[in-house]
């Protein structure tokens, strides 16, 4: 495991764009941090939480040397350098004192995996993510997606486009639905809380069996396909790992009730899009609200763009102008935990990388 002994101070390099007021906030929340930040060495953000920054930004050779010297002399990094796995690998090799890296992405484990680090480095350094910071916004999108399916948003939009006033028809009510949340981590727990508050019956998949507020029934992951035919909506919140790849595939989708609603807010690789299209075409899935996709950006020729019962959201449901502050506060909190010798939050599992 990573060495988490308690130094008097923690030298932190800010390796991605971060506003000066948030740098000061981190220092205020944890005064034992020595924060190294040079805004001229990171690309400017183009919008909220744009951690990669302006792609047209380039460093001079002198600036690149200064940036590398900054991250190579730190005990901890706020962000993966340039949000680039190759840059992370270079930094880890060059900086033997590095002991903690916080990724700004909730799914930062995939970036750590892509760096191809040796096991010794993975044991020396603790990696954490912003998992949980985005739970509220993503849960709201999941509720929106299920409601859009329950109220048949595509039918409403088609009638409106045609200026057609049909006979009245019955919409589904959320408090009459059973919603299965696949994955009860930070995002899933927020989904469960909101659906429960709106009166839905909430089921959720679990590996641990630990109760979660708002969840009426815990379902073991091995039972996922079996219970898929007993629910009205499925909300997918899982990270993208080898174990979750295409978990929502033909086996699950073959068993759902006709008209089942699907909302996906975790990672796009969890849903087999080819199997999903078949389920949409034959009506097993009545509506799909998707914020994440197997390939992003979604390819121009993907049938999902034009499918009448699909809502495409360009991986933007989590974006909030409060995200940067929430992540800065998370970093400060974890820095305090590190300095006090306590377990950190949202640690990356360096076997499954989530």
Query: Which runs of E-coded beta strand occur in the chain?
Result: 10-14, 33-36, 76-78, 100-102, 126-128, 178-182, 201-206, 217-220, 233-236, 260-264, 285-290, 310-312
Longest alpha-carbon distance in the chain: 72
Query: What gap in Å lies between CA 264 and CA 261, rounded to an integer?
Result: 10
Distances (CA, A) of 73 to 66, 143, 282: 11, 45, 58
What is this structure's pTM? 0.87
Return the CATH class of domain 10-132+320-339. Answer: alpha beta
Residue-level pLDDT at 342:
97
Residue-level pLDDT at 7:
53
pLDDT by residue for the chain (354 residues), tens only, comes to 344 444 589 999 999 999 999 999 999 999 999 999 999 999 999 999 999 999 999 999 999 999 999 999 999 999 999 999 999 999 999 999 999 999 999 889 999 999 999 999 999 999 999 988 999 999 999 999 999 999 999 999 999 999 999 999 999 999 999 999 999 988 999 999 999 999 999 999 988 888 999 999 999 999 999 999 999 999 999 999 889 999 999 999 999 999 999 999 999 999 999 999 999 999 999 999 999 999 999 999 999 999 999 999 999 999 988 999 999 999 999 999 999 999 999 999 999 888
Question: CATH 3.40.50.720 spans which residues of the chain?
Answer: 10-132+320-339, 135-312
Residue-level pLDDT at 2:
41
Domain 135-312 in CATH 3.40.50.300? The answer is no
Query: What gap in Å lies between CA 93 and CA 317, rounded to an integer?
Result: 35
Cβ contact 203:227 at 8 Å? yes
Q: Which residues are catalytic?
A: 267, 296, 315
In the block, residue with structure tokens 């992370």: 88
Q: Which long-range contacts (CB under 8 A, 24 or more apart) does 314-318 make?
A: 315/291, 316/291, 317/137, 317/138, 317/140, 317/141, 317/265, 317/291, 318/106, 318/134, 318/137, 318/138, 318/141, 318/265, 318/291
Tell me which residue of 163, 164, 144, 12 sits closest to 77, measured CA to CA: 12
């Amino acid at each position: 495991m990573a060495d988490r002994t308690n130094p008097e101070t923690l030298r932190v390099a800010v390796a991605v764009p971060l506003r000066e007021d948030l740098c000061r906030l981190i220092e205020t929340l944890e005064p034992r941090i020595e924060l190294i930040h040079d805004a001229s060495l990171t690309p400017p953000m183009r919008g909220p939480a744009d951690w990669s920054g302006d792609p047209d930004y380039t460093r001079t050779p002198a600036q690149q040397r200064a940036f590398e010297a900054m991250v190579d002399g730190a005990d901890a990094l706020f962000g993966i350098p340039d949000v680039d796995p190759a840059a992370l690998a270079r930094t880890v090799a060059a900086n033997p004192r590095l002991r903690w890296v916080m990724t700004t992405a909730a799914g930062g484990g995939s970036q750590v995996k892509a760096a191809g680090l040796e096991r010794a480095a993975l044991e020396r350094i603790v990696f954490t993510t912003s998992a949980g910071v985005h739970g509220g916004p993503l849960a709201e999108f999941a509720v929106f997606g299920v409601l859009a399916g329950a109220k048949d948003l595509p039918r409403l939009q088609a009638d409106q486009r045609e200026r057609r006033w049909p006979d009245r028809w019955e919409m589904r009510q959320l408090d009459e639905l059973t919603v299965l949340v696949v994955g009860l981590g930070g995002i899933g727990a927020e989904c469960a809380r909101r659906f429960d508050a709106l009166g839905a019956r909430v089921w959720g998949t679990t590996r641990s069996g630990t109760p979660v507020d708002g969840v009426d029934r815990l379902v073991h992951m091995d039972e996922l396909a079996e219970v898929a035919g007993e629910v009205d909506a499925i909300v997918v919140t899982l990270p993208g790992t080898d174990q979750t790849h295409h978990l929502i595939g033909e086996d699950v989708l073959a068993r759902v009730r006709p008209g089942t609603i699907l909302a996906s807010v975790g990672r796009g690789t969890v849903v087999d899009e080819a199997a999903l299209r078949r389920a949409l075409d034959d009506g097993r899935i009545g509506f799909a609200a998707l914020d994440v996709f197997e390939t992003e950006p979604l390819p121009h020729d993907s049938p999902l763009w034009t499918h009448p019962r699909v809502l495409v959201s360009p991986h933007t449901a989590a974006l909030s102008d409060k995200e940067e502050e929430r992540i800065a506060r998370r970093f400060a909190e974890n820095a305090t935990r590190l300095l006090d010798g306590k377990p950190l939050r949202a640690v990356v599992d360096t076997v499954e990388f989530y």
